[in-house]
Amino acid sequence: MTGIHPDNQAPELKDYNLYTSDPVLRRAVARGAAQWRDAELVRQGEEYGAEATLRAAEDANRYAPELQALSPRGERIDQVKFHPSWHTMMAMARRNGIANLPFVDARPSAWSAYAASLYMHSQIESGSTCPTTMTKACIPLMRLNAPLHALTAPLLASLEHDARDIPLAQKSSMTVGMGMTEKQGGSDVRSNTTQAVPAGQGPWGEEFLLTGHKWFFSAPMCDGHLVLAKTRERGSTCFFVPRWRPDGSRNPIHIQRLKDKVGNRSNSSSEVEFKDAFGVLIGEEGRGISTIIEMATFTRLDCALASAGFIRQALAQTLHYTRHRHAFGKALIDQPLMTELLADIALESEAATLLAMELASHFGATAPLDTAWRRVMTPVAKFWNCKRAVGLTGEAMEVFGGNGYVETGPMGRLFREAPVNSIWEGSGNVMCLDVLRAVSRNPDDAHLLLDHLQDIATQAPQLLAQVQQLRAALQLPPETLEPQARRFTQRLALTAQGCLMLQHASTAAASAFIGSRFDPDWGPVMGITSGSHDTAALLRAAWA
């Protein structure tokens, strides 16, 4: 057993390239016509896997943000203090294009290039993706306010991370967060009570003063937030609420506390009170929910991508560990039952990556099928990838045994990170109901999507049967279909993944995935595949 550590301990997975070691991701980038980004993605992959990056990610989560509500003289400053490693990760995300790439590069393939960067960054440090992807998602909304866009466009397009808490006019770049939910309503944002009173016209557009609270105010140190509040005349409306007013004075947004979260600990989430806080109109008054939901569509894609990244990182860690850990005379990876489990995780990782990257590619195009994918499959992919990441990171932790259940290893943070994507931007039930809303409001999209899947599924009777069941479900009355929303969404997710595996995976991987995912025995635990494939070959194909 040459090469075994004398204590039979696996070395840390470090100084490896997240991009070149991931053949599924590289092929997805090529299919998305983003080969022009390949050299940069190779550079990023090396950067993300470097030991220095891993240490920065650890420190950003070990040394949590601290609220400094008051200055030593008792003045309200409402600042959050971060460890320097947080800014290291924020700067990395920014220069790698996660804050803006698909909106500053007009090529449709920029979405696939962006998706690959986010997918890799999330594997190493996910907290910094929250304000970064919200910044990206706000760009089309900021364009709805011409004078504000004129000021902010170059700041949003910057690849530099500017951590200074100063007025926008003095900054080299900016970040933007979001404030939607309130304590009495949660996902029911129509029950929000925050009020907005007109205050005239100013240099940034129509001005309002906001009074109320937000129960989750994501990343309070962002330079501004898109916020929902109600006007007396029109109701729920979207506003840009900056940290500093145009005159250079501090905006009265009072941070009440930082949330003590299960995971995502490097990122600050807060509760705030608005005390006549300055804001400017974004979009049409009274259309705030539909306006801000456009931003949520982009961040829901990000949740699907990041969760696929979590699953990939779980696979990478387990493959590395089981190759170096030995028991009963051979490496864990060569133990038959472990091989079966790892092969199943590999199938899950490939299918999750294909679903997320395929969805991203449709954000950069405008054909009817692309629209159908964005409308219908965004909540599907967000629901399914995020839900699967929670279970799979737990399964991967178990592969490590006791070594996985300690904070000094890689699995604890990954496991605690996974649930946030299932909750953020709409929990599982919200996503499944949004799927039903999408297909009821745009039935042509649903039928176009199912026609597309059916054309692929003709190669696999099991998949074809699933498409037919989806078509039948669409004929059900809404009151009958709604209680089945999770079943419908799961079936659509698995059918889409099966079709993508048929198109883009190896014959062996596609056969194993389809044969297992539509087997009545599949579901309760991982490690139950079709049983008729070469599991070792599946694992060799998962890591380049």
Reported as a pLDDT band with limits 50, 70 and 90, residue 531 is: low
Report the distance separating Cα 142 and Cα 157, nearest Å: 12
What local confidence, expressed as pLDDT, does residue 1 receive? 35
Pick from 250, 493, 241: nearest CA to 373: 493
Q: What is the mean pLDDT of residues 353-371?
A: 97
Q: What is the mean pLDDT of residues 148-164?
A: 98
Pick from 402, 381, 401, 359: nearest CA to 311: 381
**Residue 171: Cβ within 10 Å count:** 19
Q: What is the mean pLDDT of residues 217-236?
A: 96
Residues 525 and 392: beta-carbon distance below 8 Å: no
Residues 204 and 148: beta-carbon distance below 8 Å: yes
- According to DSSP, the β-strands at 176-179 and 224-231 are parallel
Report the distance separating Cα 244 and Cα 252, nearest Å: 9
- pLDDT tens digit sequence for 283-321: 999 999 999 988 999 999 999 999 999 999 999 999 999
Residues 89 and 55: beta-carbon distance below 8 Å: no
- As a whole number of Å, the end-to-end CA separation of the chain is 23
User: What dihedral angle (degrees, nearest 10) is formed by the CA atoms of 520, 522, 524, 527?
Assistant: 150
Mean pLDDT of the chain: 95
- pLDDT tens digit sequence for 265-279: 999 999 999 999 999
Q: What is the mean pLDDT of residues 342-357?
A: 97
Report the distance separating Cα 261 and Cα 264, nearest Å: 7
Cα atoms in the 13 Å half-sphere on the side-chain side of 302: 30
Query: What pTM, to 2 d.p., does this model score?
Result: 0.96
What local confidence, expressed as pLDDT, does residue 39 receive? 98
What local confidence, expressed as pLDDT, does residue 523 receive? 80
- pLDDT tens digit sequence for 461-483: 999 999 999 999 999 999 999 99
User: What dihedral angle (degrees, nearest 10) is formed by the CA atoms of 148, 149, 152, 157?
Assistant: 170
Residue with tokens 């949003």: 156
Report the distance separating Cα 482 and Cα 476, nearest Å: 9
Residues 340 and 526: beta-carbon distance below 8 Å: no
Report the distance separating Cα 393 and Cα 390, nearest Å: 6
Residues 456 and 495: beta-carbon distance below 8 Å: no
Copy the structure tokens of residue 357: 């990257």
What local confidence, expressed as pLDDT, does residue 46 receive? 98
Element of type H or E holding 199: strand 195-202
Q: In the predicted model, is pLDDT for residue 526 greater than 80? A: no
Residues 435 and 377: beta-carbon distance below 8 Å: no
- According to DSSP, the β-strands at 326-327 and 330-331 are antiparallel
Copy the structure tokens of residue 532: 């008729």
Reported as a pLDDT band with limits 50, 70 and 90, residue 188 is: confident
Residues 381 and 356: beta-carbon distance below 8 Å: yes
CATH topology of domain 176-287: Butyryl-CoA Dehydrogenase, subunit A; domain 2 (2.40.110)
Residues 425 and 303: beta-carbon distance below 8 Å: yes
What local confidence, expressed as pLDDT, does residue 374 receive? 97
* Cα distances (angstroms) measured from residue 240 to each of 153, 173, 198, 244, 279: 14, 16, 14, 11, 5
Element of type H or E holding 436: helix 428-441
Q: What is residue 165's three-state secondary structure?
A: coil
Q: In the predicted model, is pLDDT for residue 4 greater than 80? A: no
What local confidence, expressed as pLDDT, does residue 2 receive? 41
Question: What are residue 241's DSSP bridge partners?
Answer: 225
- pLDDT tens digit sequence for 19-54: 999 999 999 999 999 999 999 999 999 999 999 999
Report the distance separating Cα 177 and Cα 239, nearest Å: 12
Q: In the predicted model, is pLDDT for residue 121 greater than 50? A: yes
What local confidence, expressed as pLDDT, does residue 539 receive? 87
Reported as a pLDDT band with limits 50, 70 and 90, residue 241 is: very high
Q: In the predicted model, is pLDDT for residue 505 greater than 80? A: yes
Q: What is the mean pLDDT of residues 114-120?
A: 98
